[in-house]
Amino acid sequence: MPFCTQCGFQNDDDARYCNNCGHELTHSEAPPSIAKRRKKGRWPGLIVSLVLLIVVGATALYLGNVALWPDADSTQPKDSPADTDNIGVPPAEKSQRIKREISQIQKTASKTADRIFGSDQELGTIPGEPTPLKKGLKDVEESRRYHYIHQDCNVLFSDVAQQVAHSIETEIIKATEISEETENSLGRELSQQMEKQHKGKIDIDKGWLAYVQSLGKSLLSKVNRKGIAYHFHAIRSDDVNAFSIPGGGIYIYTGLLENIENEAQLAHVLAHEIKHVDLRHCIATYQIIGKLPGVMHNPAAIISKFVKHPYNARVEAEADRRALELIYAFGYSPYQIVNFWEKRMGKEGEITKTKSDRGLLKDAIGTITDEMENVLNTHPKYQKRCCLLKNHIIKLQNAYPMDRLYVGKWNFESRAPMFEEKM
């Protein structure tokens, strides 16, 4: 029985593509561990090595310039001018001073990138003035309950690199547009593959399906690309996930639905996936992965790529911001999605890191680790995601002040969207 060299799944003898991930099989009898090593790509290792070298080199150079590397053979007098500022300064204070100076360098680099490439965290164009809530709605909350303060969410050098890369990527997306008709045709093919891969699990929960479809279609009235044939589906699975594909296919797992607490949270989840399509993230990703060997004529492999987080953290953050603007235009509370991610942060044990005075070497190693994780993550960490969302909510409230915002806990429990007259 052939093992898949990508995921290690054991397939039937006559299988051409992996039944788990869609990868084309070579019918090698090598066990999964060996097969994976054969096919393991070099790019992740090269990226990590490059980041490691840059950060280590920059740290060593900086520390060397400030004369903090102890050198017993140094011929420089201990009270020389270069070391005057450090005479009598405790090691902990020296460490804090270095952190502040490195942080200032990062902020300067970030501001320079903003001036040259433009910031990717500005408020977008709201699709019309926010719609006032209908009279009689009681499941609302007041914005004055929340006291968000603007924070600097981008504190790593790799954040600056990602900002520049995202600006370039956005321009490439604009230059490689295909027609909506072509994208819709592709979407129909991929949707058929989705039905095959999730047969017996897709759209069998009729209550969830009707609710998701009704809410999703209502949100579409304020999207930009109205020629896309959007359609919504619910998949029975414990996975806490949702994804979208070119042509407007939006898929949400029941595992995620069971973790959501109100309609405002669900509206943002659906709006996030809608925006991946509306902003052309999906079709741009397809154009990239479609050029990989053995993928273009393998719909199962393409679908697998979209299910397993095809975007980078910067693209995910952009979809988050534009989704906030979309639901805010309908009067939904943007605060509820922050509450959702903060709760997930607690459930999955993501703890806020506090940089104590551990010494220069341990601080440097910690910084290197943070930079590498930031490069490799496909989604912003919960803590950073909440930080970015809060900053954007502040901008929304400043530009379009709203005191009363809709939560929709009753709607979610009864699976009756706010848009329906029965409310």
- Contact (Cβ atoms closer than 8 angstroms) between residue 73 and residue 122: no
Q: Which helix (H) or strand (E) holds 245?
A: strand 242-245
- State if pTM tops 0.85: no
Structural domain for 394, as ranges: 140-414
Domain for residue 302, yes or no? yes
Q: Do 260 and 374 fall into the same domain?
A: yes
pLDDT value, residue 369: 59
The structure tokens 């959702």 sit at 340
CA 140 to chain centre: 28
Q: Do 156 and 17 fall into the same domain?
A: no
Domain for residue 1, yes or no? yes
| Interacting residues of 156 by C-beta distance below 8 A, sequence separation 6+ | 106, 370, 371, 374
Category of 235 on φ-ψ map: left (φ > 0), alpha (ψ -120 to 50) or beta: beta
Domain for residue 86, yes or no? no
Domain for residue 246, yes or no? yes
Bridge pairing between strands 249-253 and 231-235: parallel
pLDDT value, residue 376: 52
Domain for residue 421, yes or no? no
pLDDT value, residue 43: 42
Domain for residue 35, yes or no? yes
pLDDT value, residue 136: 75
Domain for residue 122, yes or no? no
Q: In what order do the strands lie in the sheet with 242-245?
A: 231-235, 249-253, 242-245
φ/ψ of residue 400, rounded to 5: -135, 75
What's the rounded Cα separation, in Å, for the pair 170 and 177?
A: 11
Q: Can you give the pLDDT of all 423 residues of the chain as single tens digits?
A: 566 766 655 566 666 667 556 666 665 444 444 334 334 344 444 444 444 445 444 544 444 444 433 444 444 444 444 445 555 666 666 666 666 666 677 667 667 766 665 666 788 888 777 877 877 778 999 999 999 999 988 766 567 666 666 666 666 666 667 899 999 999 999 999 999 999 999 999 999 999 999 999 999 999 999 999 999 999 999 999 999 999 999 999 999 999 999 999 999 999 999 999 999 999 888 887 767 666 666 777 777 777 766 677 888 999 999 999 999 999 999 999 999 999 988 776 655 444 444 555 555 555 555 555 555 555 568 888 999 999 999 999 999 999 999 999 999 999 999 887 544
